[in-house]
Amino acid sequence: MMGMAIGYGLGAHVEFRPRSYLEKYPVKNLQGGGTWGLQPGQWTDDTSMALCLAISLILKGDHDAYDQLVRYKWWWKRGYMSSTGQCFDIGNATSESLQNFISKQKAFGKTHKISYEQMDSLSAENSELFANE
């Protein structure tokens, strides 16, 4: 995890640059800037999502898809585990998947009389029920 965060911190300022740019301006140290105007050492969305997964695995002691998705949603909507405090980059497929998850949370909450605010901390029984609907 540490190596990944360092790698993304080193490469964030050249993300989306062509190989020819990298050959002319090789990465030699931590620099700021790039597409997202990050400060030196700030990581990208990839590290943020990996941190969300790692924390979920640690806290749950196993893979819990619901908890994992909740943490991705927090990253997207609140900047959870972001190096800047906000989600500054998210792919279309990821945002569509998370929007679908939020829609399902809202529908499930309405059906089972659970407020949207409580949906992020479902009991194991309710998260299993959610997964099976």
Which residue ranges are tagged as binding site?
44-46
82 in Cβ contact with 88 (< 8 Å): yes
Binding positions for Mg(2+)? 44-46
Contacts 24+ apart (CB under 8 A), 82-90: 82/45, 82/48, 83/9, 83/38, 83/41, 83/42, 83/43, 83/44, 83/47, 83/48, 84/36, 84/38, 84/42, 87/45, 87/48, 88/36, 88/45, 89/35, 89/36, 89/44, 89/45, 90/45
Distance CA 7, CA 127 (A): 35
